[in-house]
């Protein structure tokens, strides 16, 4: 399994189990890079999947948050 799929699966599970409740801020890309050891590119691909699924939303300059956006 590609790393970005694995990371997306992991984050999705943390959202589902309440580790990151609605409106919660996910760890920043850099934090995830440091924690996972993956490249930022890989982390961003994982995020892109969750964004595409409307599981999270992004506020540029602030961070990425658990959806819904409204």
- Name the residues that contact DNA, by CB under 7 A: 2-5, 26, 28-31, 37-42, 44-45, 47, 58-64
Judged by beta carbon, residue 20 or residue 38, the one nearer DNA is 38
Question: Given the structure tokens 């999947």, which residue do they identify?
Answer: 49
Sign of the dihedral defined by the CA atoms of residues 12, 16, 22, 27, in that order = negative
CA distances (Å), 40 to each of 2, 5, 51, 53, in order?
A: 14, 14, 16, 20
Closest CB to DNA among residues 5, 13: 5
Nearer to DNA, 21 or 62 (CB): 62
Q: At closest approach, how far in Å is the CB of 50 from DNA? A: 11
């Amino acid at each position: 399994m590609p790393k970005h799929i694995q990371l997306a699966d992991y984050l999705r599970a943390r959202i589902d189990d309440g580790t990151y409740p609605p409106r919660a801020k996910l760890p920043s890309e850099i934090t995830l890079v440091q924690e996972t050891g993956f490249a930022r590119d890989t982390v961003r691909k994982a995020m892109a999947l969750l964004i595409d699924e409307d599981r999270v939303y992004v506020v540029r300059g602030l961070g990425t948050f658990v959806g819904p956006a409204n």
